[in-house]
């Protein structure tokens, strides 16, 4: 059976990208599928009891996928400072290894899970290295994995219509087509439960972007 590959990215930081990718992993496993998860780099990592840096996002993905391979294999490049990965790397006297973005992916390709979830770092146009944005990483991934679907996660709150339209237009200009927009509904300081836009955003986002919209990660699971 062919491997289904999904690249999860976001309209920005803290829109629920890891939450949605983790829910998709859990739902896929519940459907009887073997799941692999990979994140090329992470910043804002914590120091564990053994002195190793722990990427909590990667940990959530790994747990949701049923702990395939090792946690280190999920996210090999980890940095402490909660800033863009290339700057976080510099702060600890390190550099981002762009080649490793793809060589570190190889164990997951060899594992050949039914579903492979790849999560970017930050928003679609956030820097992964000094010369590569997440969108560039996605384009290179699609060259290697042409079956890959790109899922744009956006926080379902007032203003999300603009965020999605802008991101879709920018992605198209860069040569990347988006396959799904996932509107993540959660309450934050910026999105109160009384936000009246929550019930009208999805159809308007789909109308203005032309991209299919789902409101739950479960909607991505292939029947």
SS3 198: helix
Helix (H) or strand (E) holding 183: strand 180-184
Q: What is the DSSP string of 113-128?
A: -SEEEEEEEEETTSBS
Tokens found for residue 83: 């800033």
* Cα–Cα distance for residue pair 37/114, rounded to 1 Å: 11
Catalytic one among 39, 80, 90, 149?
Answer: 39
Is the sign of the CA dihedral 187, 192, 198, 201 positive or negative? Answer: negative
Catalytic, 39? Answer yes
Tokens found for residue 117: 């979830």
CA 42 to chain centre: 11
Residues known to be catalytic: 39
């Amino acid at each position: 059976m062919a491997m289904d590959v999904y690249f999860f990215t976001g309209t920005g930081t803290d829109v629920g990208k890891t939450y949605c990718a983790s829910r998709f992993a859990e739902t896929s496993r519940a459907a009887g599928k073997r799941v692999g998860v990979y994140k090329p780099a992470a910043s804002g990592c914590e120091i564990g009891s053994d002195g190793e840096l722990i990427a909590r996002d990667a940990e959530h993905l790994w747990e949701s996928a049923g702990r395939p391979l090792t946690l280190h294999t999920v996210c090999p490049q980890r940095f402490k400072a909660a800033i863009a990965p290339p700057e976080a790397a510099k702060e600890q006297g390190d550099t981002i290894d762009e080649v490793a973005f793809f060589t570190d992916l190889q164990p997951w390709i060899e594992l050949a899970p039914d579903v492979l979830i790849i999560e970017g770092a930050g928003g679609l146009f956030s820097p992964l290295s000094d010369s590569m944005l997440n969108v560039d990483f996605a384009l290179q991934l699609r060259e290697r994995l042409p079956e890959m679907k790109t899922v744009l996660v956006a926080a379902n709150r007032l203003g999300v219509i603009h965020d999605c339209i802008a991101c879709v237009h920018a992605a198209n200009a860069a040569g990347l087509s988006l396959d799904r927009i996932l509107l993540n509904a959660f309450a934050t300081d910026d999105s109160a439960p009384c936000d009246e836009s929550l019930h009208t955003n999805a159809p308007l986002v789909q109308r203005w972007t032309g991209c299919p919209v789902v409101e739950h990660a479960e909607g991505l699971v292939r029947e």
